[in-house]
Each structure stands twice: as C-alpha cells, then as structure tokens.
Amino acid sequence: MKTQLVTMFDMFFGAKSKNKIVEDSTSKLFLTHTDTFSGRTLVIEEEAYTVWVYLLCENKENIDFDGFLCAVTNPFTANNIALQKITPTKKDIPFPSVFANEYSYVENLKKKDIKINWRKDHINIFIKTSLYLIMNIKEKCSYSKALTKDCDYGMQLHY
C-alpha cells in the first residue's frame, strides 16, 4: 500500500515522466502510464496472484474500470477455488483454473515485457508481442486473452 501511495503522490506532484515503475521489497510490478492526448492514466499492478490494469477516472481520484491481465502463479498447480469466493476477493485468491488457458500464467513478468497502445476508444496492452488485453473505454469493459470464458474477471478476448 505504501508503494502505491508514494507512486500516486509522485504521479501528481513529482517529475513530468509519463512512465514510472516502482518495485518494493517483494519486487511486485507497479506501472503507471498517462496518455498524452487524452490525459487518462492507466495503472498496472501485480497483486498476490494476478496482475490487474486500472483505468483511472479523468479526475484521477477513482478507478473508472479494470481489466485482468494475467496470473503470476500457475493456476493449474494451485488449489481450486470455490467459485462463490471469487466475486468479493478475486484479487486476493489464486486465479481459478476453470477460467485459465495457456496464456493465463506469465512467469517473471517485467515492465519491459509490457507495451501499452492507446487508441481513441480503447487501450491495447501487449505482453511481449502478444495482445493480452483490450480495455474498451466507451463500454467500460475489458477483454482478456488470459480467460477461457466470460466471468467475474472480465470478458474473453476472441481473435
């Protein structure tokens, strides 16, 4: 939590840099990116088991909507999670294997692996050269390559 607060403070009052990464003692990924055209800010944060992308509201005080990028622990070797536990705590539990596919687990994800491509109505997020997440700004929903079906984690990316 301290890392996120410091980064948000730096984002609003610090240097003019558009990309920042902060790594705490656990080396969890935390990246912010601001689109120069729209002024909107995207936050990518590694939680205990998953990586989430948040699009901040235009006032940068709240989250507009989020998207599931990937898991950082292998969902096929983790304990199966009762689906009724997902909704309130989905960011604090291992990613359920019932929603997982071959793209769900990304081992040793680093800042250099992530590319953000802003468009007028959507944001494309790549891991290495593969499109992993589309965040539709107009509809406020996300489409993830790491999902096998539509669920509480988001919509499945079909292409």
**pLDDT tens digit sequence for 44-54:** 999 989 999 99
Share of the chain above pLDDT 70, in %: 75
| Side-by-side strand order, sheet with 19-21 | 19-21, 30-34, 41-46, 50-56, 63-71
Torsion angles phi and psi, residue 39, rounded to 5: 80, 0
Of 26, 59, 22, whose CA–CA distance to 44 is shortest?
A: 22
d(CA 55, CA 67) in angstroms, rounded, equals 9
pLDDT of residue 76: 87
Distances (CA, A) of 127 to 92, 111, 118: 22, 9, 15
Tell me how many degrees the CA angle 70-75-81 measures, rounded to the nearest 5.
Answer: 110
